[in-house]
Structure 1
C-alpha cells in the first residue's frame, strides 16, 4: 500500500499572499514606485543570500538580529556561512562598494522585497516579511535627512494616513557615543539587581539597547539615565539643529525622543521613526537614520549615507483599516465561446484584442453558456465578447456591457470593428 502523503502547510510566520489579497499589494507597490520615482530614486536589486559576516560586521554582533533572529546555514559546497537577509541596508551598501557606485556621483536607490527574521510571529511581525528600503548614498548634511522625512510625510498623505507620528533623535559621533556609553554603564551598574536577563547581557556590550527596554518595571530607571543628547559636541548639535529647523520650515510636527536608538549598530547622528497606535504593540511603521561609517566599515572609501525601511505588512494593515479598496478587475474583456468553431475563432479574437493593448481572459474549457457568463461577471471585466455559431456565420461577435449602463446592453459588432468599438467604449468617462 502506498504511503499517504500528509498535506503540508506554509512554515509558521511565512505567509501565502493569495490572488484576492495580492491585488492590494500590487496597488500599494505601484503607488510606492511612483512616489519614489518622483524623488529620483532608482531600483537596486540585491540577492536574498549574503555572507553571514556581512551582517555580523555591518549590523553588529550584539544586536538582537545577529544574536537571535538570523536564518544562517553552512553552504555544503564550500563550508561558507550564508544568511538570508534580515534587512536591506548592509546588502545595498555591499553592492555599492563592490560596484563603485558612488565614486562618480551620489546615488538615490531603493529596494522592495522579502526579508527574514527568526522571531515569534505576531501581528505585523513575521518570519518572512517585506520591506520598502530607501537609501541616499554619498550625501552629507541635514538637508537629505529631512528630504527622506518629507518623502515619508508625502507618502502618508497619498495613502490617507493621518495618525502616524514622527519621533527623532541624534546619536552623535562615535566619540560622543563612547563618552555617553561609559557614563551609561556606570549609571546602569547601580541597577544590576533590577535588570532583566536581556539588560544584564547588554550592560557591557550594548548599553544603549538597555534603555530601549519594553519592561514596564524598568521605565523609571531608563527615564533617569544619562541622555546621549547631553554628550553631543558642536558639530553634532549643529546637524541636529539643522534637521529640526528644516522640519519646522516644512511644518512637519515631531517629538524628540532621547531614548530612540534604533536596533542596529551602524547608525549615527539623525535617527527617526514614524509610529502609530493602530497596530498594537508593533507600532513602528517606518524607521531609519544616518549611517556615515558603514560604507567604510564594509571596505569602501569613507562616504556619508542615510536611509529608512518601511514594513509593508504594517503599512498595508494601516492603509486597509476602515478603508474600502475596490477589487482590481482581472481583465478588460472576457471572451465566451460555444461550439468548436466558436472556440477556435475565440482564440484568434483574444490575441487580436491583446495586440491592441487590452487585458483579455479567454474562457478555458466548454461549460454551459450560463456558467461562462457568471465567470465573466466575476472577473470584473467591462465587456464580454460572445462567439457562437450564429456570430461566426455572420463574421461578427456579440458584445455585452457588464459594468455600465448602455443604450443597447448587448449588440452585434463586426469582428473587423470589434477592437475599435471596445477601445472607444472604454475611453468614455463612466457616468456618475
Structure 2
C-alpha cells in the first residue's frame, strides 16, 4: 500500500476556516504600517547559504543546527531563509537602496524555515512580519518601532497580555570586553553549568545568559553584568530610548539577560513577551544592528528592526478571545435562483449588484437544486440574507429578500431599488 500523502512535520496547511483571521491580522498590520510611512519589500524565500553564515554567525544554533540547506543543480549551496533581516539587508545592498545616506523604512511578510522540534507555537515553517530601518542611528527610531507595536497591540485587543523587555548590548568593542569577563567567570564555575552552556562558552558565550537550565541560572546571579561594561555612547542611546518610552507611557522591564540569538545585534535589543502561551512566550523581538551592513560588504550603515511571529500572535488572539465576530462571516448575501431563466437573470443581476454596491459579498448558488436544498446551502454559507429569484419574481421584476439570521419577514424589492437597499442594510449594517 502506498504511503498516505501529507504535509511535512512542522509545516502546516492554513485552511479556509483559518484564513479570515490571518487576513484580518495581516491587514491590520499593513494598515498600521502604511500610517507610519513604511514601504513593503518582498524577498526570495531561497538565498545563498553564505548570506546567513556571514550575517547570523556560523556558531549560532540557527546556522549549526536549524537551517534547511541543499545544493542546487549548479552545485551552489542554497538555504531556505531562517529569518528576514539578512535577506532584506542583501536586497538593500544589491539595489543601492541605502547609498548616499538614504533613509529606508521597509517591511516584509512571509514564511521562514528552521528545523526545530515542532510544538504549539513553534513550527518548521513559520510566518513573520518584519520591519527594517536603515540610516537612522538615534534612539528616536528605536522608540518608534516599539511605539507602533504598542499601538498594534491596542488595535488587536491584546495590550494587557504582553510585556516589553529591554536591554542594551553596547557596541561591539564594549561587548567584547564583557565577553572576556563573562568567559573568565564561567570558566571558574565550569563544573556548575550545564553541558550546552559549556559548549556555548567556547563559541557564543553571551547566549549562556538566556539559558533555561536552573543550575546555570543560579550561577549567573553572580556573573558580571553587561550594563557595567557599556560604553558612554551606548549608555546615552539607551537612556534616550527609555526617556521616549516613558514619555509615550509605555511600560517596560529591563532584562539584563536579554541578548537575542543572532550575532549581529548591538545596542538596543527588545522583546514583547506573554505568559498566555506557555513556553513560547516571545511574540515580537528585535533590536539594532549597526554593523551588519558593513559586515555584509556595504558601507557603515545604521540599522534597526524587529520581527513578529504571526502564528503566535494569532494563537494569542484566539486564547484571549479577541477574534472579531465579523471576520468569521465571508458572505453577506446568497442568491437563490430557480429555473433556467432565473439563473440567467440572476447571473447578470449579481454582476450589476457587485458593480453598484462596493464591498458587497455576494454568493450565487451553483448547481441548481430545489428550494429546500438551495436554502440549506444559503444557511450553511453564513450569509445574513438570501435573495430569491424565480418565475414569479422575474415576471414582476422583483427579488425576494429573506433574512437568514434573527428576526424579519421576507419582502419583495424592485430590481431598481435593490442596490440601495443592500448598501444600507447589509454593507453599512
TM-score, normalised to structure 1, is 0.93
> Aligned pair 1:38/2:40, yes or no?
no
Instruction: Name which of 90, 93, 109 aligns with 1:94.
Output: 90
SS of 1:385's partner is strand
Q: Deviations over 1:320-365 (max 9, x none)?
A: 2241631432222211111222222222222222222322211110
Q: Deviations over 1:245-295 (max 9, x none)?
A: 222222222221111100000000011111111111111111110000111
- 1:353 corresponding residue in structure 2: 353
Alignment of 1:123-138 (within 5 A): 123-138=120-135
> Counterparts of 2:6 and 2:418 in 1: how far apart (Å)?
46
Q: Deviations over 1:286-331 (max 9, x none)?
A: 1110000111112221110111111111111112224163143222
- 2:255 corresponding residue in structure 1: 257
> Aligned pair 1:423/2:423, yes or no?
yes
> Counterparts of 1:103 and 1:287 in 2: how far apart (Å)?
27
The structure that is helix-richer by fraction is 2
Instruction: Name which of 206, 230, 235 aligns with 1:237.
Output: 235
More displaced 10-residue stretch of structure 1: 48-57 or 354-363: 354-363
> Counterparts of 2:322 and 2:134 in 1: how far apart (Å)?
38
> Counterparts of 2:97 and 2:290 in 1: how far apart (Å)?
16
- 1:68 corresponding residue in structure 2: 65
Instruction: Name which of 362, 378, 382 aligns with 2:364.
Output: 362
SS of 1:20's partner is coil
> Counterparts of 1:96 and 1:289 in 2: how far apart (Å)?
18
> Aligned pair 1:289/2:287, yes or no?
yes
> Aligned pair 1:51/2:48, yes or no?
yes
1:218 CA drift (Å): 0.9
Instruction: Name which of 385, 388, 407 aligns with 2:387.
Output: 385
1:45 CA drift (Å): 0.8
> Counterparts of 1:249 and 1:421 in 2: how far apart (Å)?
49
Q: Residues 132 and 305 of structure 2 are in contact (CA less than 8 Å); yes or no, is this contact kept in structure 1?
A: yes
SS of 2:299's partner is coil
> Counterparts of 2:285 and 2:333 in 1: how far apart (Å)?
43
SS of 1:193's partner is helix
> Counterparts of 1:223 and 1:35 in 2: how far apart (Å)?
40
- 1:344 corresponding residue in structure 2: 344
SS of 1:150's partner is helix
Q: Residues 139 and 238 of structure 2 are in contact (CA less than 8 Å); yes or no, is this contact kept in structure 1?
A: yes
1:419 CA drift (Å): 2.2
> Counterparts of 2:248 and 2:424 in 1: how far apart (Å)?
45
Instruction: Name which of 175, 185, 188 aligns with 2:186.
Output: 188
> Counterparts of 1:415 and 1:169 in 2: how far apart (Å)?
64
Q: Residues 193 and 219 of structure 2 are in contact (CA less than 8 Å); yes or no, is this contact kept in structure 1?
A: no
SS of 1:157's partner is helix
1:5 CA drift (Å): 4.5
- 2:117 corresponding residue in structure 1: 120
1:417 CA drift (Å): 3.4
More displaced 10-residue stretch of structure 1: 386-395 or 166-175: 386-395
Pair 424,282 (structure 1): closer, same or farther in 2 beyond 3 Å: closer
TM-score, normalised to structure 2, is 0.94
- 1:107 corresponding residue in structure 2: 104
SS of 1:289's partner is strand
Give ranges in structure 1 of 5+ residues lacking alignment: none
SS of 2:210's partner is coil
SS of 1:30's partner is helix
Q: Residues 193 and 215 of structure 2 are in contact (CA less than 8 Å); yes or no, is this contact kept in structure 1?
A: no
Pair 95,420 (structure 1): closer, same or farther in 2 beyond 3 Å: same
> Aligned pair 1:151/2:148, yes or no?
yes
> Counterparts of 1:68 and 1:352 in 2: how far apart (Å)?
57
Q: Residues 192 and 219 of structure 2 are in contact (CA less than 8 Å); yes or no, is this contact kept in structure 1?
A: no
> Counterparts of 1:374 and 1:99 in 2: how far apart (Å)?
55
> Counterparts of 1:416 and 1:149 in 2: how far apart (Å)?
52
SS of 2:190's partner is coil
SS of 1:35's partner is helix
Pair 212,427 (structure 1): closer, same or farther in 2 beyond 3 Å: closer
> Counterparts of 1:101 and 1:92 in 2: how far apart (Å)?
11
> Counterparts of 1:324 and 1:89 in 2: how far apart (Å)?
30
